[in-house]
């Protein structure tokens, strides 16, 4: 069985893939930013909140971590309209990705908070700092530094997991690839190019996160600080 490779179809339609890749990056970055903010709130409430707040967050974490991202995406995009809330595909994608990422990031941040020596927190109380002030000025940065590698890895997984949003017609890289291969009947060439683009984006995101970690926490991939 012979196969004649033709990467010209990829070269001729490279702009479509780049547009899809750019949207993938934008949706990923927005989802991560929202997820990190929500995770910080959740980690604070899990550590210092009331019993019912902790119960709510724990239930949310268990539900999200034990259900597929695809099911969550479908629930948001196809299920919410039944309740009168219809979201654009790209907006639904961001909501689903942030919703999923937050559950993992909360647990990672909480592990960082629990690694902080109790003496630092007691010293903050002795200085009459409020719980929020203690969290923001004493706990948050060293907690993030302790778990930064795991948090950075989870951010990359958001990028790779974003491929599922093509199932709701979001115009991301995977969607652009599906359209292109349907028009050209060259799935091998198209998806080989898409795999390379995802690899470049993942490497670029990881490199960017490494730089941020180095500047913010003195973190390196080898773990030296």
HEC string of the chain equals CCCCCCCHHHHHCHHHHHHHHHHHHHHHHHHHHHHHHHHHHHHHHHHHCCHHHHHHHHHHHHHHHCCCHHHHHHHHHHHHHHHCCCCCHHHHHHHHHHHHHHHHHHHHHHHHHHCCCHHHHHHHHHCCCCHHHHHHHHHHHHHHHHHHHHHHHHHHHHHHHHHHHHHHCCCCHHHHHHHHHHHHCCHHHHHHHHHHHHHHHHHHHHHHHHHHHHHHHCCCCCCCC
Q: With 70 as the cut, is the pLDDT of residue 225 above it?
A: no
1 falls in which pLDDT band (50, 70, 90)? low
Residue range 38-96, pLDDT digits in tens = 999 999 899 888 899 999 999 999 999 999 999 999 999 999 998 899 999 999 999 99
Prediction pTM value: 0.90
Q: Is the pLDDT of residue 224 over 60?
A: no
Report the mean per-residue pLDDT for the chain: 90
CA distance 196 to 198: 5
Report the half-sphere exposure of 199 (CA within 13 A, side-chain side): 6
Lowest-confidence pick of 27-36, 105-114, 134-143, 201-210? 134-143
Work out the number of other CB atoms within 10 angstroms of the CB of residue 84: 6
pLDDT band at residue 127 using 50, 70 and 90 as cut-offs: confident
Q: How confident is the model at residue 217 (pLDDT cuts 50, 70, 90)?
A: confident
| Whether pLDDT at 7 is above 50 | yes
- The per-residue pLDDT for 220 is 57
Query: pLDDT tens, 130-169?
Result: 778 887 778 888 889 899 999 999 999 999 999 999 999 8
Task: State the residue for tokens 């299920």.
Answer: 79
**Model confidence at 124: pLDDT above 80:** no
CATH of the domain spanning 8-217: 1.10.3720.10
């Amino acid at each position: 069985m012979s196969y004649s490779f033709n990467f010209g179809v990829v070269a001729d339609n490279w702009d479509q893939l780049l547009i899809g890749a750019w949207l993938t990056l934008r949706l990923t970055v927005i989802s991560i930013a929202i997820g990190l903010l929500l995770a910080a709130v959740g980690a604070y409430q899990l550590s210092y909140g009331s019993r019912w707040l902790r119960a709510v967050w724990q239930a949310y974490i268990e539900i999200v971590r034990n259900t597929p991202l695809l099911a969550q995406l479908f629930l948001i995009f196809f299920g919410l309209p039944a309740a009168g809330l219809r979201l654009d595909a790209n907006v639904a994608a961001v909501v689903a990705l942030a919703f999923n990422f937050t559950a993992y990031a909360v647990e990672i941040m909480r592990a960082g908070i629990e690694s902080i020596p109790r003496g630092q927190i007691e010293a903050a109380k002795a200085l009459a700092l409020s719980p929020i002030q203690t969290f923001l000025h004493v706990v948050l940065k060293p907690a993030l530094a302790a778990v930064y590698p795991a948090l950075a890895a989870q951010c990359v997984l958001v990028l790779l997991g974003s491929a599922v949003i093509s199932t709701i017609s979001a115009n991301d890289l995977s969607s652009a690839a599906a359209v292109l291969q349907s028009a050209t009947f060259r799935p091998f060439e198209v998806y080989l190019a898409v795999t390379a683009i995802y690899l470049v984006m993942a490497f670029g995101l990881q490199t960017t996160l490494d730089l941020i970690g180095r500047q913010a926490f003195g973190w390196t991939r080898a773990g030296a600080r």
